[in-house]
Structure 1
Amino acid sequence: MPPDRLDALVKHPFHRETIERLIGFIRDLRECRTPEDYVAFQQDLLHATLTANAARAERSRVIKRLRRRQKLPADAPELVIGDPHQLDDWRLEQDVLERVGRQLRSIGDAMAWQAFHYDRRHIIALRRNESPGPMTLSKEGTVHEIQFANQQWSEHRQFAMLHDLTDCLRIGDVTVFSKPDHNNEQDILLYELKTNPNRREGPQLERTRMAAEALHEGGPLPGDENARLIDTGVPYATHLSALADAFAHAHRDGLKTMRVPGQRGLLTLDIPAAGNKWSPQEATRQFHAQYAALLRRTRLTGQHVRYSSGDSAARHYLTAPWGIYPLQPTQCAALIADVLVFSVTLSSDNFVEELHKTGLDARWLLPEGAEIEPTQHLLEINAHGRRLRVPAAEIQRLLLELTDLQTWAEGIDRLLEKTQDRCQPWPYFTEEHKVWA
C-alpha cells in the first residue's frame, strides 16, 4: 500500500476509535472468570463486530453503484472523510472497516484461546477449514447461531462461544462450555448447527466429528488422514519478556533493536514515537540503518529468515493472537492496530546449528528469493529414523512467539521419537498457560 494511503487509513477516525475499543476489550477479557463474564464479553464483541461489518457492507453497496456510474442511493451512509461522489474516498473507508473487522476477529481469537485455557490443540484442530467470511445478520445461519447461544445461557447458564466472531475457529458453529464440576473439570461440546433440520450437510458434520475425535481420541485431524496431534511432553518456554523490554525502549526512542537467545535479531518500532522524533524520510533511514547494525551485531550468516507482526491481525495460521501476549493491554491493542510493530530475524546457518545441539540433522529447503506460502515446507529434520518437513507457518510462529529454540528442538526430537511411520505430526507443548495467562 502506498505510504500516503496507509497513513490516511491508520489516521482515519474509525481506526482511531477502534484502537481505544481494543484496549477496553483486552482489559475486559483478562477479567473474565465466570460463564456470565464470558457471555457479557461476547455480547459486546458481537455488537461491535456486526456494526463494523454492516458499515462495510453499506460502503460496498455504494462503491458498486458508483462503479456503474449511478447516483448515490438516497439511504447512503454518511462518508466520514472525503467527497461522497469520489469512488476512492469510499474505497478508503471500506478498507478501514475491513481492517477493523479483522482487528475485532483478533479479539475473538484471544477469547477462544483464553476460553480453551490456552490449549493450542483446540486451535490446531478447529482452524482446518476455509474462513466463513464476515459475520452479518443477513446470513440466516448467523441469526440461528446467536439464538442458540442465547438459549444456552438463558436455559442452562452455559457459555456458548460463537465461532464466527473468531478467525481461528473454522470447524463447527458454536462451542459450549458446561459448568465445571466439583473437581473443576468441564465438558466442552462442539456443535454444527442446521437452520433446516431436513438438509444434509455431510462434509461439514464429518469435519466436526473428526475434529472432536482428534482432540479426545487421538484420531486424524480434519482434511488429512495421516495428520495427528502429538504431545511433545515439553513445557513451553519463550523469550517474550525481551519483547516487553524492547517496546518500553521503543516508546521512548521510536526504535529499539536487541539480540535474542538463539542467534535472533529483534527490532521494535513505535510508530507514534518515531513520528514525533523524526520526519518520515529520517524514520525510514533510521529503520534501515539500525536494522543493518543489528544484523552485524548478531552475526547472522547464511540466508536471513525474517517475519514481522505488521498487518497480521486475524491472518496468522498458527501464531497466538496479540491479545493474549504477556504485554500491557495498550501494547497488545497497538500490535493489533499496527501502531507497534516488531520483526524477528534468524539466519539459516545459526538455526541449523541450534538444532544440531539437540542431535537433530536439519537442512533448509528454502530457495533464495522465492515467494513463501504458509503451507510451504521450509525445513527438513531427520532423527530417530524419521523425517519431518516443517511448514513456513511453524517457522513464523516460533519467531513471532520468540519461542526458546532449545525448547522447540527438544520437542521436535521427542515428537520424532514417538511418531509412527506415515504420520504427519502436529506438535503441541505443555503448560502453555504459564506463558499466556
Structure 2
Amino acid sequence: MASAVRKTEVENFHDRHTGGMSLLYADAYDPDDMMVHPRHQAMQPVLAQLIQQLRDCETAEAGVVFQRDLLAHLLDMEKDYDAFKRAAKRMRSGKAPRPEAPEPQSGRDLADAETWRFEQEVCARLARQLRSVGDALAWRVFGFHRPFILALCRNQSPGMMFGKAGLSAELERFERACKEDGAFALLHDLTNCLRIGDMTVWDGVHPPRTEEIKTNPKNSRSAQLRRINQARAAVLEGGPLPGDNASELLYDLDLPLRTHLDVLRDALERAATEGIYATPVPGSRVLFVFDQYACVQQGLSSEQFNERHQHAVDGALQRAGIAVSREDHNIYVTSLDSTARDPLRVPWANYPLHPVACARLIGDYAVATVETSGPVLTRLLQATGLDARWVRPPGKADLQQGEVIMEIHQQERLRSVTLPGGLTMTPGWTLQMRRSELDRYLMELLQPGTWAAGIKHVLAARQAGQPWPHYRNEHEIWV
C-alpha cells in the first residue's frame, strides 16, 4: 500500500464514531505517520502468518513452537523499542545516539529527538499487536473458558519482556516443563490478558496450575502467591476474584452464547471492497466498518470519503431507529487502537474471521465501531419484561471504567411486607450495568435475546455483590 487514508478522512471518521472526544491514537501521533511507517506496514503479513500458525496448532509441541516464534518477534521488537528509547533520551540531553542504535525508518529528521521517540512509540504499538496474538493463544489453551481470563487479568500490565531480570529463569522453567516434565506451559509475558503469575502449566491430569517464577525461589512474594491462589479458587471453587472486594464473583449463566458475528464478517468483506460500509445490527445497534486499503485503492478524495461515509452512516442509523437520540444519548465502542489494551476484550485473532481480516483489525487498517442509543436499548430490555432505566446523563463524555450506565430493577412481588401505618414494602434487587458489560454486548455483537436472558438469569439468582457473568459454549464461537 502506497499510503494510508488522508488525515482529514481518518479524523472525520473518528470524530463521528467517538464524538471527537479523544485523540485518534493514545500515543498522540498523526495517524498517517503511524499507519504508513514501514515497520507498521511490514507487521501486517507477520500477524496474519502468526494467526494462521496458531490456528494450525493441533499438538502441544506445535503450541510450544508457536510460542518460541512469537517470543522471537516480540523480543526483537522490544529490543528496538529499548534502543530507540535510549537514543531519544541521549538526543534530549544533547548527545548523539549510540552507533548500535537501529536506523529510523520514518524518513524524519535524524537530528530531532522526536524522530527517535516516534520510532520508540511505533515499536511499542507493534509489541502490543504481537501480544494480542499471544492473548488469542491464552484464550485457546484455556478452552475459551472466560473465567480463567477474568481471574488472571486482575493486575497491572507487567510491561516489556526485553531486559526483564527474571526472563532467563522463566524461559528455563518453560523449556523444562515442556521437554522434561511432558507438560504444556504458557508464558504469560507473551500476552496482555494474563497478568497474575508468570506461567501456567497443564500436566494433562490436574487443572491448569499458575506459577510465580523467581531467579531465587526464596524471593517469592507472598502477595503474588496469594493472588495466584485467589484466581485459582475463584475459577475452581467459586471464591472471590483477586483483589480487595470479596463481593466480586464469577457467575455461570448456564446459557449458550449466541452472537451476530456473521454480520461483522460480512461487513468487513464489504468494506474491503467498497471502503466504507454501515449496517444496522439486531438489538438497537449500528455497525460501521471502514478499510483503509480499499479507500486508498479507490483513490477517494476527502470530499468523496466524507460524502460516502455520511450517506452510509445516516442510512444505517435511520434503519436501526437510533438516529434521533444520537446527539445526547448514543454511545460507541470501537476497535480503533484498542488492541491489547483492555484484557477483558476477546482478542481479534480469536474472532471467526480470516487471518488477514484479523490482522487488519489489530493494525487498524480496518476499523469497526458499534453504536447504540441508551434509551432505545433500555426500551428493548423493557419489551422483554425487564424494569430497565438508563442512568447515564446526556452528553458526549467518554465512558469511564466502572461507570454505571443502566440500572435494572426486579421486585419480589411474592414477598410483600406490611409496615405500620398501612404501608407495604416490596423487597427488590437492582442490577447495575457498567461499561465492560455494555462493551461486550456491542463489540461481541451478542444476540439481544441472549443478552436479556443473561440479565434475567443474574437477577433471578438474587446474588448480592458484583457478579462477573459468563456464558457456556464459548469454544463454539471463537477460533
Question: TM-score, normalised on structure 1?
Answer: 0.94
Confirm whether residue 100 of structure 1 aligns to residue 126 of structure 2. yes
* Cα shift readout 1:309-361 (whole Å, capped 9, x = no counterpart): 11111012422110010110100011000011111111112211221233221
Aligned match of 2:473: 431
1-structure distance, mates of 2:387, 2:211:
43
Alignment of 1:110-125 (within 5 A): 110-125=136-151
Q: How far apart are residue 85 of structure 1 and its match?
A: 1.6
* Cα shift readout 1:196-253 (whole Å, capped 9, x = no counterpart): 2222512111111100000000000011211110101110010000111111111111
Q: Match for 2:294 among 268, 273, 276?
A: 273
1-structure distance, mates of 2:105, 2:132:
25
Aligned match of 2:239: 219
Further displaced range: 350-359 or 160-169? 350-359
Question: Alpha carbons of 1:81 and 1:349: their partners in 2 closer, same or farther (altered >3 Å)?
Answer: closer
Aligned match of 1:305: 331
Matched residue type, 2:210: L
1-structure distance, mates of 2:161, 2:403:
29
SS of the residue aligned with 1:344? strand
Gaps of 5+ in 2: 1-22, 412-427
Aligned match of 2:152: 126
2-structure distance, mates of 1:110, 1:250:
24
Alignment of 1:158-307 (within 5 A): 158-179=183-204, 187-223=207-243, 224-277=245-298, 278-300=300-322, 301-302=324-325, 303-307=329-333
SS of the residue aligned with 2:180? helix
2-structure distance, mates of 1:410, 1:2:
36
Contact 2:285-2:370 within 8 A present in 1 as well? yes
Contact 2:213-2:220 within 8 A present in 1 as well? no
Q: Match for 1:43 among 41, 62, 68?
A: 68
Q: How far apart are residue 2 of structure 1 and its match?
A: 7.6
% identical aligned pairs? 38
Gaps of 5+ in 1: none
Q: How far apart are residue 47 of structure 1 and its match?
A: 0.7
1-structure distance, mates of 2:352, 2:207:
28
Contact 1:323-1:332 within 8 A present in 2 as well? yes
Q: Match for 1:320 among 346, 362, 374?
A: 346
Aligned match of 2:364: 338
2-structure distance, mates of 1:317, 1:124:
8
Aligned match of 1:375: 402
C-alpha RMSD over aligned residues: 1.7
Contact 1:52-1:100 within 8 A present in 2 as well? yes
Matched residue type, 2:287: L
Contact 1:262-1:404 within 8 A present in 2 as well? yes
Structure showing greater radius of gyration is: 2
1-structure distance, mates of 2:384, 2:315:
30
Matched residue type, 2:313: Y
Matched residue type, 2:445: L
SS of the residue aligned with 2:159? coil
Aligned residue pairs total 430
Question: TM-score, normalised on structure 2?
Answer: 0.86
1-structure distance, mates of 2:404, 2:375:
17
1-structure distance, mates of 2:460, 2:405:
21
Q: How far apart are residue 307 of structure 1 and its match?
A: 1.1
